[in-house]
Amino acid sequence: MATVSALLDTNVLIYATLTEDPRYPIARALLLGEQSPAGGELFISVQNLAEMWPNLTGPKLNPPDSPAVARAKIESIARLPHLTVLPVDWDTVRHATQLCEERNVRRQDYFDMQLVAVMRQHRIRRIYTENAADFKGLDGIEAVNPFAKA
């Protein structure tokens, strides 16, 4: 069986830090590379790390993490030795805005297209995300919801 590299979406990273969340065991196993059925490399984007901050410190998390705790979580994920953090550069933004124009994407949905652009730049075909529908219909992208009941 061929290996498949994958990008972990921000929601997976967040759930991997929330020990009381029912999605924690699956997210943590993915983040630690213990549940990668494809056996390929794991990636995240600097975008994913940045998106963690408002989610960890904002009103959706009750109680929200303190800035120090949120920063520690983000830094600990970024330092995992088996996880490659990918940059966002001008080519990424150009590709993302082209995708947005083609698909009539507006507002915050831009950031999903930016992840797709990062994935395409690095030939990553799979993304693990709770929001698989956000990536539907994108050529060469397989979105897998690891939390969906089989």
DSSP 61-84: SSSPPPHHHHHHHHHHHHT-TTEE
User: In this structure, how many other beta carbons lie within 10 angstroms of the beta carbon of residue 138?
Assistant: 17
Q: pLDDT per residue over 5-25, tens digit each?
A: 999 999 999 999 999 999 999
Q: pLDDT per residue over 74-107, tens digit each?
A: 999 999 999 999 999 999 999 999 999 999 999 9
Q: Is the pLDDT of residue 59 over 90?
A: no
pTM of this prediction exceeds 0.85: yes
Segments in 3-123 forming alpha helices (H): 10-15, 24-31, 46-57, 67-78, 90-103, 110-121
What is the token pair recorded at 50? 């940045």
What is the token pair recorded at 29? 């196993």
Ramachandran angles phi, psi of 83, nearest 5°: -115, 125
Domain ranges of the chain: 6-86+128-144
